[in-house]
Structure 1
């Protein structure tokens, strides 16, 4: 079997188990991205969620000896429920008594779903083609968006997200490194017009230039942090965000719902829609948290991060008077100190 046939076998198997897009790229170093990351590091813009070893991120050979090909996989995560959760200005203002959660976070944890699928594909490669294969799903040790761009999955928008023609930027990415020498795909045409809507809409100015982001000002990062939020401008910018932020994605013309394919993958659907009432979330018990959020990406940050966010949302939406002052004696130091800031 030649390498073109092997590539097609991998594509066919991937489609069977629910992968939407598959691309193949040479496992060559990412020299341009390496220089870009060095600049970010000098400016102190590498977040704790990222791999600190820049060579490991940009030189695939540092991760896997003898690697020849990067196979990139994309799965759409939009469904009929989360596609209605919009972080546009009108939605934030009109429905601000109710909280809002990022689309990726109100479904089954993609790490589990995508890693399971890619593990099956890696085993398929090993068993059928006697090749080595390593799976990566948001591990931080590989530049997944750069790899996806190189593999023809999509293009990078001004908001730094990877966009696909079919599903917009609402996709999860995963990669397999293999020592198989497989034919590479052509890069996708960029559909980014440079309109700058994402940059203008960013609530905190985290997108300080096209294609450049300060993660420490990004609400997607801040709502996941375990710090007390004291900056009044950041607190106000939270709006009614309970976890994550999709603003820079939702305002993009290339993410208009009517132009996208909504796959509604059953793999990601939860048994129940998660609660968005900030008062309920503020008072949520461990068992309830586990029941609603235990299988979502929110779980790894913990109950009290979500409660901290709910407290900020209540302050922003004029509901702080409904909060019992006993919150100042809360067992969680994070929640207790955030309450002290807000009740001043």
Structure 2
């Protein structure tokens, strides 16, 4: 097995802004496949039909690339400069998930990952392919297998060095590399991430029902938000960080050092009054280069209207009233609901 280039790759990764690099085998059996099958069979993927459609490829790295023998996993820290849970108190402002407060991380990571992969290919003489959360590949189980951290009770990856705030990138290669030791679970008896969830999206530790998850509802779900989840959403208009932010391992986390991942000031607590006034052109301009742009203006305004209905801020009534006649029926329905809440 090839192991001599490991330290040079780690140095290269650090120079590219990555916080950690670990290696595992990609051609071995693992338990993650059974967990994914159960997740889909129980319908916990909601309307994310692509998870079912790509299940066979997603279950194992060799489903993506049969010749892959090893995986190199890197992490890039995006830690916030303050506790994002505090932003939930400002109900007249929208709360955007920390990861989406600046540039799209796919754009930030992929180019650098390709540079690192080039060095791996040169050093091993083997083929490489890079992945940043856009292909049917289970990055989190790979990262745990490589020892970068462990999947906590909230199913997200946790690191003793980085806490919860980091992105993953994966290089698959036909090279047979010496693996690192796998990660060990350090959650213990803690269930803070389970107890804080506003919508009870965890049917059991280490299990997520995406249909109840605010991140899924505000980003992936295209129709009206089910009424049972509207009040618990509070002012969360894109994603939810509660289960990440409450993790005690974040005491070891540090602030993001990559400039493109440091939160824009205008996206830390943007006033709902500004967001509700966005037409499609203004939405695209405000979120140019942001992952938020992907969901489109209508879905975003739907989320902002739910937040407005929860705000108790009567000054938002004229903006909400105007959106009752929005061409998008989901937006118009959310506006009617919000107006009813603000009128109570």
TM-score by length of 1: 0.90
Specify the alignment match of 2:283 in structure 1. Answer: 289
Q: Is this contact kept in 2: 1:205–1:217, CA < 8 A?
A: yes
> 1:126: Cα distance to partner?
2.7
Structure 1 segment 221-240 matched on structure 2, within 5 A: 221-224=216-219, 225-231=221-227, 233-240=228-235
Structure 2 unaligned blocks of 5 or more: none
> 1:100: Cα distance to partner?
1.0
| Cα separation, 2, equivalents of 1:83 and 1:158 | 25
Structure 1 segment 62-81 matched on structure 2, within 5 A: 62-78=63-79
Specify the alignment match of 1:304 in structure 2. Answer: 298
> 1:270: Cα distance to partner?
6.4
Query: Secondary structure of 2:4's match?
Result: helix
Structure 1 segment 2-151 matched on structure 2, within 5 A: 3-47=2-46, 48=48, 51-52=51-52, 53-78=54-79, 82-84=80-82, 86-87=84-85, 91-92=87-88, 94-151=89-146
Segment of structure 1 superposing worse, 284-293 or 161-170: 284-293
> 1:176: Cα distance to partner?
0.7
* Number of residue pairs the alignment of both structures matches: 334
Structure 1 counterpart of 2:311, from 280, 300, 317: 317
Structure 1 unaligned blocks of 5 or more: none
Q: Is this contact kept in 1: 2:164–2:247, CA < 8 A?
A: no
| Cα separation, 2, equivalents of 1:152 and 1:110 | 22
TM-score by length of 2: 0.90
> 1:340: Cα distance to partner?
3.0
Structure 1 segment 268-279 matched on structure 2, within 5 A: 268-269=261-262, 273-274=266-267, 276-279=270-273
Tell me: CA distance 1:96–1:324, structure 2 relative to 1, closer, same or farther (3 Å).
Answer: closer
Query: Secondary structure of 2:5's match?
Result: helix
| Cα separation, 2, equivalents of 1:157 and 1:270 | 25
Q: Is this contact kept in 2: 1:282–1:308, CA < 8 A?
A: no
Q: Is this contact kept in 2: 1:272–1:292, CA < 8 A?
A: no
Residue-by-residue CA offset, 1:44-93 (whole Å, 9 max, x unaligned): 11241753333312222221132110111110012xxx4325236xx52x
Tell me: CA distance 1:49–1:140, structure 2 relative to 1, closer, same or farther (3 Å).
Answer: farther
Runs of 4 or more, structure 1, over 6 Å off, are: none
| Cα separation, 1, equivalents of 2:29 and 2:266 | 40
Q: Is this contact kept in 1: 2:102–2:260, CA < 8 A?
A: no
> 1:136: Cα distance to partner?
0.8
Segment of structure 1 superposing worse, 285-294 or 296-305: 285-294
Query: Secondary structure of 1:83's match?
Result: coil
> 1:279: Cα distance to partner?
1.7
CA RMSD of aligned residues (A): 2.1
Tell me: CA distance 1:50–1:117, structure 2 relative to 1, closer, same or farther (3 Å).
Answer: farther
Structure 2 counterpart of 1:178, from 160, 173, 179: 173
Residue-by-residue CA offset, 1:132-190 (whole Å, 9 max, x unaligned): 11111112411111000000100111111101112211110110100111110012333
> 1:322: Cα distance to partner?
3.9
Segment of structure 1 superposing worse, 275-284 or 318-327: 318-327
Structure 2 counterpart of 1:243, from 229, 233, 238: 238
Specify the alignment match of 1:196 in structure 2. Answer: 191
Q: Is this contact kept in 1: 2:277–2:319, CA < 8 A?
A: no
| Cα separation, 2, equivalents of 1:125 and 1:186 | 20
| Cα separation, 2, equivalents of 1:30 and 1:240 | 42
